[in-house]
C-alpha cells in the first residue's frame, strides 16, 4: 500500500510542479531507457542520484522515501532471485554476482523512483491536460480525471460501509482465510452498488451540462512549453546520448575489482 | 382534483414552461410516474414544486431539460415546451443552454479537480473560446459567492460549498430557466438557507426562472410566488403560495406546510376570525402583533 | 448506560474533532445531539459503539470501557442506524438482510426466524420479505435498515440523521415510531440538525459546536436561547422565531411547539377579554 502512497499527488507548488508534464515525461522516459541499458552497478548508482535534486526542489522528499520503502520488498526479492540463480548455475565469481544482483535490484528501484517523481510532482489535471494536448481522445482523459477525483470519495465510502457492517456484528479480523474473504462481501456489494448509482447520477449531470454539444472540445487552460521545460528536454536528450555512448563505447569496471578479495 | 388559482389572462407568450397533458412511464414501469400533467410557468417566476415522496416531482424535473425522453427512454405522451424549445425534438445538450438542472447530491455533480475547472465544464463541452469561458467562469463564481474557492478541490469542500459550485457551473451556461431538485437534502438548515438566498438572487437579480423542488417549506416558502403541489403523479394544487398553503387540501396531502400557517389554522379552529395566513415567520410575527394589539 | 469522560479525539489527518466532551446518558433516556455539520456529533456517537476509540479520556458502556471490548460485542448492546441505508444493504432478500445481524451475534435458527418476522411486522415490511432490498424505494430501504438493527433488540438505538431526504409524512411516522421505541424502555439517541423534528419530539438536547458540548438540557430551554443557537449556528424552530418578535407583549419566549403556541396565544387573548 505504501507503494501507492508514493504515487499519490499532494497539492504543493514548486518549480518542478509547474513544469510541463510532457517535458517531465520525456525525462522519465530517458531515465527509464538508460536504466534498462545498463546491468552494471556504477552507472545505475549514478542514475539513482540523478532525480534527487528534483525531489528536493519539489519538496516531496517524504513521499518519495515512502515510495522507495514500498519498493524495497520487491527489490530484495530481485536481489535474492538473481543471486541464488547465479550461484546455483555458477555464472561468475561470488563477488561479481553480488554486485550484479545488487545492480539488478537497484535498476528496479531507479525505475520505480523515476515514475514516482513524475506522479508526485504532476497534478492529475495537469496530467490530463497534457494527455488532451497530446491528442488523446477527450473521453479517456475525462474518465481519468473523474476517476482520480473520486478516489478519496470512494475510499471514505468504503470506510463508512465497513463501519456500518461492523456495527451489525461483522468481524473482519476473525476466522480462517475463506471466511475472511466471505466477510468482505457485505463490504463489496454496497460499494459496487453505490458506484453504479453514482455513475448514473454523474451521467445525468454530464448530460445536463451539455456533454456532446460540440465535437470540438475547448479547454480553460493551455499548456505551453517554457524555458524550464526546454532545459529538461535538452537534459534528457543529453542523458540519453551520454548513456548510449557509455554503454557501447566505454568499458565499465566492476566495483569488486577495487575491493580486497573476499573470503569466499 | 385540480385547483387552479392562476391568472387566466396570462398570455401564452409570457409562459416560459408550458406543459400539456404530460404522461410518462419509466421503461419497465407498471404505471405512469406522471399522469396528464398540465402546468404553465411564466418567465421570472420562482416556483416551488412539492409533494410527498414518489409524487412525480423528480420525474417532471427530468422532463424539463430533456433527460426524459432522451436519457430515460420510455413512453412520453403530451406536450412540453421549455424556453421555446419542444423538449422531445431537441437533444439534451441543446436544452442545456436554455434550462439547467441542479441535482440533490452535490458530490455527484462535480467532475473536475478544481472548482474553476468544474464551473467551466459545461462551457468546454460547448466548445466556447477561452476568453469567453474565463469571463463566464469569473461571473458565475461571483454570483454564487464562491470566488475564494476557485482553486480548491471538490473533495475539500463542505456540502453547501459543493452545491454552490454546482449552481455556478450550471449558471455559467447562462440558462433562462434553472431547475433545482431538492438541492438542500444533504445540508444543515444554515447551509440550506444560504443556498436559498443564492437561488433567490439568481431569480430576483438575473431574472432567471426558478423551479425549486423542496420539502423544507419552512425555509423556502418566503421566496416563492407560485406553488405547485403534486400527489401520485398528478398536480393537485397550483397557484399563489398563500392560498395553497392555507388550503385544507395541502394539509391533507401531507405536505409540510410552514409552521406559521399551521399555527394560523389552529387559532382559527379555536374560533378566531383571522385574515390570510402568513407564509414566513417574520410575517407571522407581524400579523400576530396586529392581532394581539386589539 | 453510556458515560463519556473527558473525551478528546483527533483523526489521523490531525483534525481535532472532540475537545474534551463529558456527559452521561441514562437508561431509557431520549436524547437529541444537535449542531451544524462538522460540530463533532457523528464523531461522538461513533464512540458509543466503539467504532472510534478516544485519543484521551474514556467511554463506558454499561460500565465497560469501549477500549476493552470489540465493536461487534458493543454492537450487541448499542445498535447504530447509519444515515445512508445503502451503505448497509447487500442481501438477496429483505429477510436475509434483517437476519444478517442476528446471525452475526450467534442467535440460533429458530430465534432468528422469530426475530426477523417480528422486525418485519414492526416496520410494516412483511410483504417485502422475499423482495430484493435494492428494488425498494428510498423510504422503504430506510425502514429495512432500521428493522435490521432493531431485530437484535439492542438496549440503545442510535440514529444518525434519520430525517434526511424524508418528506413530511415520513418524518411524522418516524417521530411517532421513535417516541414509541423510547416508550418501550429503549435508550434512544438521535443525531440531527432538523430543529423542527426535535421541537416536535421535545427530548433532552445536547448541543455541540467545534467539538465541544455547549449546552445540555431541555429542548425548550436550549432551542429558544438565541445566544446558544447563534454560537452553534443552528436555526431556531419557526415557532420560536415567531415568538421572539412578541416578547414585548409579555408572552413566554421559550415556546417551540405549535400546539403550545396556540394555547398561549388563546390564553392571552381570552385574558385580554377577546
pLDDT by residue (tens digit) across C155-166? 999 999 999 888
**Which residue of chain C comes nearest to B269, CA vs CA?**
C262
| Number of separate domains in chain B | 2
Contact between residue C197 and residue C33 where contact means Cβ atoms under 8 Å apart: no
User: Cα distance from C151 to chain A (closest Cα, Å)?
Assistant: 11
Residues B160 and B194: beta-carbon distance below 8 Å: yes
Q: Is B116 on the interface with A (CB under 8 A)?
A: yes
| Nearest CB to B292 within list C167, C172, C249 | C249
| B172 and B264 belong to one structural domain | no
Q: Per DSSP, what are the bridge partners of residue C160?
A: C191
The pLDDT tens digits of the residues spanning C187-199 come to: 999 999 889 999 9
Closest Cα partner for B260 from C221, C196, C230? C196
Contact B53 C138 (CB under 8 A): yes
Question: Rg (Cα) of chain C, in Å, rounded?
Answer: 20
A53 band by pLDDT with thresholds 50, 70 and 90: confident
Say which of C193, C233, C262 has its CB closest to residue B267: C262
- Of B43 and A45, more confident: B43
Query: Phi and psi of A121, rounded to 5°?
Result: -110, 10
Residue B87 DSSP class: G
Q: Which of B65, B85, B111, B155 to mutate to test the interface with A (most CBs of A within 10 A)?
A: B111
Domain identity same for B35 and B137: yes
Tell me the three cell numbers of residue A225.
512549453
B22/B36 Cα distance (integer angstroms) = 5
In DSSP terms, B80 is beta-bridged to B19
Residue located via cell numbers 398540465: B38
- The whole-angstrom separation of Cα A119 and Cα A112 is 11
Cis peptide before B265 (omega within 30 of 0): no
Q: B226 and B220 in contact (C-beta within 8 Å)?
A: no
Q: Number of structural domains, chain C?
A: 1
**Rounded to the nearest 5°, which phi and psi values hold at B37?**
-85, 125
| First-residue to last-residue Cα distance in chain A | 39
Helix (H) / strand (E) element for B48: namely strand B46-50
Q: Which of B62, B141, B153 is nearest to B110 (CA)?
A: B153
In 3D space, the residue among C48, C71, C52 whose CA is nearest the CA of residue C60 turns out to be C48
Strands B234-239 vs B3-4: parallel, antiparallel or unpaired: parallel
Instruction: Name the residue with higher pLDDT: C26 or A2.
Output: C26
Interface of A with C in 113-172 (CB under 8 A): 157, 160-161, 163-171
Cell for B145? 459567492
Percentage of chain A beyond pLDDT 70 is 91
Predicted local distance difference test score (pLDDT) of residue C129: 92
Containing B194, the helix (H) or strand (E) segment is helix B189-206
DSSP B88: G
**Of residues B189, B222, B250, the one with CA closest to residue B5:** B250
Check residue B6 and report its DSSP letter.
S
Q: B94 CA to chain A: closest CA distance, Å?
A: 7
A interface residues, B as partner, C-beta within 8 Å: 11, 123-125, 142, 145-146, 148-149, 152-153, 198, 201-222
- Output the pLDDT for position B13: 54
SS (H, E, C) chain C: CEEEEEEEEECCCCCEEEEEEEEEECCCCEEEEECCCCCCHHHHHHHHCCCCCCCEEEEEECCEEHHHCCHHHHHHHEEEECCCHHHCCCCCCHHHHHHHHHHHCCCCHHHHHHHHHHHHHHCCCHHHCCCCHHHCCHHHHHHHHHHHHHCCCCCEEEEECCCCCCCHHHHHHHHHHHHHHHHCCCEEEEEECCHHHHHHHCCEEEEEECCEEEEEEEHHHHHCCHHHHHHCCCCCCHHHHHHHCCHHHCCCCCCCCHHHHHHHHHHHHHHCCC
Residue C154 Ramachandran class (φ > 0 left, ψ -120 to 50 alpha, else beta): beta
If interface means Cβ-Cβ distance under 8 Å, which residues of chain B face chain C?
Answer: 51-54, 104, 158-159, 182, 185-191, 193, 215, 218-219, 254-256, 258-260, 262-263, 266-267, 270, 272, 281-282, 284-286, 288-289, 291-292, 294
Question: In B, residues 71-90, which contact A (CB 8 Å cutoff)?
Answer: 71
Do residues A9 and A122 make contact, with C-beta atoms less than 8 angstroms apart?
yes
* Judgement on whether residues B233 and B269 belong to the same structural domain of the protein: no
Using a CB-CB distance cutoff of 8 angstroms, which residues of chain C are in contact with residue A185? Answer: 90
Q: Is pLDDT above 70 for C55?
A: yes
Query: What does each C-alpha distance from A108 to A34, A39, A69, A101, A140 come to in angstroms?
Result: 12, 11, 13, 11, 29
Strand partners, C187: C156
- The verdict on B203 and B287 lying in the same domain is no
The C-alpha angle with vertex C35 and arms to C30 and C36, in degrees rounded to 5, equals 145
Give C126-157 pLDDT, tens digit per residue.
999 999 999 898 889 999 999 999 999 999 99
Residue A257: what pLDDT? 65
- The pLDDT, as a whole number, for residue B4 is 47
> What's the CA gap between A240 and B260, in Å, rounded?
78
Do B144 and B275 share a domain, yes or no?
no
Q: Which domain holds residue C267?
A: 237-274
Say if residue B109 is in the same domain as residue B45.
Answer: yes
Backbone angles phi, psi at C55, to 5 degrees: -75, -35
Helices (H) and strands (E) in chain B, counts: 11, 11
Does residue B175 sit in the same domain as residue B77? yes
* pLDDT the model gives residue A175: 78
What is the pLDDT confidence band of residue C30, given thresholds at 50, 70 and 90? very high
**Residues B242 and B294 both lie in one domain:** no
Among the partner-chain residues B191, B193, B259, the one whose CB lies closest to the CB of C37 is: B191
Q: Which residues contact B153 (CB under 8 A, 6 or more apart)?
A: A11, A149, B113, B114, B115
Residue A41 has pLDDT above 50, yes or no: yes
Asked if B244 reaches chain A (Cβ–Cβ under 8 Å), the answer is no
**Average pLDDT over chain B, rounded to an integer:** 90
Q: Residue A223, SS3?
A: coil
End-to-end CA distance of chain C: 50
User: Do the domain assignments include residue C246?
Assistant: yes
Count the Cβ atoms, other than its own, within 10 Å of residue B237: 24
Residue A6: pLDDT band (50, 70, 90) is very low
Tell me phi and psi for residue A48, to 5 degrees: -60, -35
With respect to residue C256, please indicate whether it lies within any of the assigned structural domains. yes
Question: Is residue A52 within 8 Å of residue A61, measured between CB atoms?
Answer: no
Q: A12 or C245: which carries more pLDDT confidence? A: C245
Binning pLDDT at 50, 70 and 90, where does residue A12 land? low
What is the four-CA torsion angle of B179, B185, B187, B189, rounded to 10 degrees? 90
CB atoms within 10 A of CB B212: 26
Do B131 and B268 fall into the same domain? no
Domain that holds residue B75: 3-253
Q: Residue B93 in contact with residue A213, Cβ under 8 Å?
A: yes
Residue at C185 is within a domain? no
Q: For B271, list phi and psi in degrees, rounded to 5.
A: 100, -5
C-alpha cell at C250: 409579555
For B70, which DSSP code?
I
| pLDDT tens-digit map of C58-100 | 999 999 999 999 999 999 999 999 999 999 999 999 999 999 9
CB B78 within 8 A of CB B22: yes
Same domain as B235, residue B110: yes
Q: Give the pLDDT confidence score for residue B79 in this predicted structure.
A: 93
DSSP B256-285: ---HHHHHHHHHHHTT----SPPSSHHHHH
B13 strand-pairing partners: none
Mean pLDDT, chain C, rounded, equals 92
Partner-chain contact C82 A169, CB within 8 Å: no
**Chain B adjacent subunits, 3+ CB pairs under 8 A:** A, C
**pLDDT of A190 above 70:** yes
User: What does the alpha-carbon distance between residue B179 and residue A52 come to, in Å, rounded to a whole number?
Assistant: 53
- Give the DSSP H/E element, type plus range, for residue B75: strand B75-82
Candidates B292, B293, B294: best to mutate against C (most CBs of C within 10 A) is B292
Q: Give A169's contacts in chain C (Cβ within 8 Å).
A: 72, 75-76, 101, 104-105, 152
Main-chain dihedrals φ then ψ at residue A101, nearest 5 degrees: -60, -40
Would the pLDDT of C259 be above 80? yes
Tens of pLDDT along chain B (294 residues) come to: 444 444 444 444 579 999 999 999 998 888 999 999 999 999 999 999 999 988 999 999 999 999 999 999 988 999 999 999 999 899 999 999 999 999 999 999 999 889 999 999 999 999 999 999 999 999 999 999 999 999 898 888 999 999 999 999 999 999 999 999 999 999 988 899 999 999 999 999 999 999 999 988 888 988 999 999 999 999 999 999 988 988 888 888 888 888 888 888 888 888 877 777 888 888 888 888 888 877
- Report angle CA B125, B130, B131 to the nearest 5 degrees: 135
Pair B194, B55 in one domain: yes
**Domain CATH code at residue B154:** 3.40.50.300
Where residue A261 falls among pLDDT bands split at 50, 70, 90? low
Asked whether residue A157 carries a pLDDT value surpassing 70, the answer given is yes
pLDDT digits (tens, 9 = 90+) for A90-146: 777 777 788 888 888 889 988 888 888 888 888 887 888 888 888 888 888 888 888
Looking at the fold, whether B151 and B90 belong to one and the same domain comes out as yes
Q: Which residues of chain A does B72 touch, with a Cβ-Cβ cutoff of 8 Å?
A: none
Q: Which residues, 6 or more positions from B246, have their beta carbon under 8 angstroms from its beta carbon?
A: B261, B264, B276, B277
pLDDT tens-digit readout, A192-241: 999 999 999 999 999 999 998 988 888 888 888 888 888 889 999 998 99
Q: Is residue C249, in this structure, part of any structural domain at all?
A: yes
Length of chain C: 274
pLDDT at residue B12, rounded to an integer? 47
Amino acid at each position: 500500500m505504501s507503494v501507492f502512497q508514493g504515487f499519490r499527488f499532494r497539492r504543493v507548488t514548486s518549480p518542478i510542479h509547474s513544469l510541463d508534464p510532457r517535458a517531465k515525461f520525456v525525462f522519465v522516459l530517458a531515465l527509464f531507457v538508460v536504466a534498462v541499458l545498463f546491468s552494471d552497478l556504477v552507472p545505475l548508482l549514478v542514475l539513482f542520484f540523478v532525480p534527487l535534486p528534483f525531489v528536493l526542489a519539489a519538496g516531496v522528499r517524504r513521499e518519495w522515501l515512502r515510495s522507495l520503502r514500498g519498493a524495497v520488498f520487491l527489490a530484495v526479492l530481485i536481489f535474492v532471485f538473481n543471486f541464488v540463480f547465479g550461484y546455483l548455475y555458477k555464472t561468475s565469481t561470488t563477488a561479481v554476482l553480488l554486485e550484479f544482483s545488487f545492480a539488478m535490484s537497484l535498476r528496479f528501484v531507479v525505475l520505480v523512483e523515476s515514475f514516482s517523481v513524475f506522479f508526485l510532482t504532476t497534478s492529475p489535471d495537469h496530467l490530463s491536460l497534457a494527455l488532451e494536448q497530446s491528442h488523446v481522445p477527450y473521453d479517456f482523459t475525462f474518465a481519468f480525471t473523474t476517476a482520480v477525483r473520486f478516489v478519496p470519495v470512494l475510499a471514505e465510502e468504503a470506510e463508512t460501509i465497513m463501519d456500518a457492517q461492523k456495527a451489525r456484528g461483522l468481524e473482519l479480523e476473525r476466522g480462517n482465510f475463506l471466511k475472511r474473504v466471505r466477510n468482505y462481501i457485505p463490504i463489496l456489494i454496497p460499494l459496487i452498488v453505490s458506484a453504479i448509482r453514482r455513475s448514473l447520477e454523474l451521467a445525468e449531470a454530464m448530460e445536463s451540462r451539455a456533454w456532446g454539444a460540440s465535437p470540438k472540445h475547448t479547454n480553460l487552460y493551455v499548456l505551453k512549453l517554457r524555458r524550464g521545460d526546454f532545459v529538461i528536454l535538452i537534459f534528457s536528450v543529453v542523458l540519453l546520448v551520454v548513456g548510449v555512448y557509455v554503454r557501447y563505447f566505454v568499458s565499465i569496471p566492476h566495483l569488486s575489482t577495487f575491493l580486497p578479495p573476499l573470503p569466499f | 382534483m385540480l385547483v387552479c388559482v392562476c391568472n387566466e389572462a396570462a398570455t401564452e407568450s409570457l409562459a416560459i414552461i408550458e406543459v400539456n397533458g404530460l404522461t410518462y412511464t419509466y421503461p419497465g414501469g407498471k404505471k405512469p410516474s406522471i399522469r396528464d400533467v398540465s402546468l404553465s410557468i411564466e418567465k421570472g417566476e420562482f416556483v416551488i414544486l412539492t409533494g410527498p415522496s414518489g409524487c412525480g416531482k423528480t420525474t417532471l424535473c427530468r422532463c424539463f431539460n430533456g433527460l426524459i425522453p432522451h436519457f430515460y427512454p420510455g413512453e412520453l405522451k403530451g406536450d412540453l415546451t421549455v424556453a421555446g424549445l419542444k423538449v422531445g425534438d431537441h437533444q439534451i445538450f441543446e436544452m442545456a443552454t436554455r434550462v439547467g438542472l441542479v441535482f440533490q447530491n452535490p458530490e455527484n455533480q462535480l467532475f473536475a479537480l478544481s472548482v474553476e475547472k468544474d464551473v467551466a465544464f459545461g462551457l468546454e463541452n460547448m466548445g466556447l473560446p477561452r476568453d469567453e469561458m474565463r469571463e463566464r467562469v469569473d461571473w458565475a463564481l461571483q454570483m454564487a459567492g464562491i470566488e475564494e474557492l476557485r482553486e480548491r478541490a471538490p473533495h475539500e469542500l463542505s456540502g453547501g460549498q459543493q452545491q454552490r459550485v454546482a449552481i455556478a457551473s450550471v449558471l455559467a451556461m447562462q440558462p433562462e430557466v434553472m431547475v433545482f431538485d431538492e438541492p438542500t437534502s444533504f445540508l444543515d438548515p444554515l447551509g440550506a438557507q444560504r443556498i436559498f438566498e443564492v437561488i433567490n438572487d439568481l431569480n430576483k437579480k438575473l431574472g432567471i426562472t426558478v423551479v425549486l423542488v423542496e420539502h423544507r417549506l419552512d425555509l423556502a416558502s418566503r421566496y416563492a410566488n407560485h406553488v405547485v403541489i403534486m400527489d401520485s403523479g398528478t398536480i393537485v394544487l397550483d397557484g399563489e403560495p398563500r392560498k395553497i398553503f392555507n388550503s385544507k387540501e395541502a394539509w391533507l396531502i401531507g405536505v409540510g406546510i410552514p409552521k406559521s400557517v399551521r399555527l394560523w389554522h389552529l387559532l382559527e379552529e379555536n374560533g378566531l376570525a383571522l385574515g390570510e395566513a402568513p407564509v414566513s415567520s417574520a410575517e407571522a410575527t407581524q400579523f400576530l402583533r396586529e392581532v394581539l394589539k386589539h | 448506560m453510556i458515560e463519556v469522560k473527558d473525551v478528546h479525539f483527533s483523526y489521523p489527518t490531525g483534525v481535532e474533532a472532540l475537545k474534551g466532551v463529558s456527559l452521561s446518558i441514562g437508561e431509557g433516556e431520549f436524547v437529541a445531539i444537535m449542531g451544524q455539520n462538522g460540530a463533532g456529533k457523528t464523531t461522538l456517537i461513533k464512540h458509543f459503539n466503539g467504532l472510534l476509540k478516544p485519543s484521551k479520556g474514556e467511554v463506558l458502556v454499561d460500565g465497560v470501557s469501549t477500549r476493552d471490548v470489540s465493536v461487534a460485542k458493543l454492537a450487541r448492546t448499542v445498535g447504530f442506524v447509519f444515515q445512508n441505508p445503502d451503505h448497509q444493504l447487500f442481501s438477496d432478500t429483505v429477510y436475509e438482510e434483517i437476519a444478517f445481524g442476528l446471525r452475526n451475534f450467534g442467535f440460533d435458527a429458530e430465534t432468528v426466524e422469530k426475530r426477523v418476522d417480528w422486525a418485519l411486522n414492526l416496520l410494516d415490511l412483511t410483504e417485502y420479505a422475499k423482495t430484493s432490498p435494492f428494488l425498494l424505494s428510498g423510504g422503504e430501504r430506510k425502514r429495512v435498515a432500521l428493522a435490521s438493527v432493531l431485530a437484535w433488540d439492542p438496549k440503545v438505538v442510535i440514529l444518525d440523521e434519520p430525517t434526511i431526504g424524508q418528506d413530511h409524512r415520513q418524518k411524522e411516522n418516524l417521530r411517532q415510531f421513535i417516541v414509541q421505541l423510547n416508550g418501550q424502555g429503549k435508550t434512544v439517541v438521535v443525531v440531527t440538525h432538523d430543529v423542527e423534528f426535535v421541537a416536535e419530539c421535545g427530548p433532552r438536547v445536547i448541543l455541540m459546536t467545534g467539538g465541544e458540548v455547549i449546552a445540555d438540557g431541555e429542548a425548550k430551554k436550549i432551542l429558544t436561547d438565541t445566544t446558544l443557537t447563534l454560537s452553534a449556528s443552528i436555526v431556531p424552530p419557526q415557532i420560536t422565531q415567531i415568538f421572539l418578535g412578541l416578547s414585548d407583549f409579555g408572552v413566554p419566549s421559550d415556546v417551540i411547539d405549535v400546539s403550545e403556541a396556540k394555547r398561549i396565544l388563546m390564553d392571552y387573548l381570552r385574558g385580554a377579554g377577546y
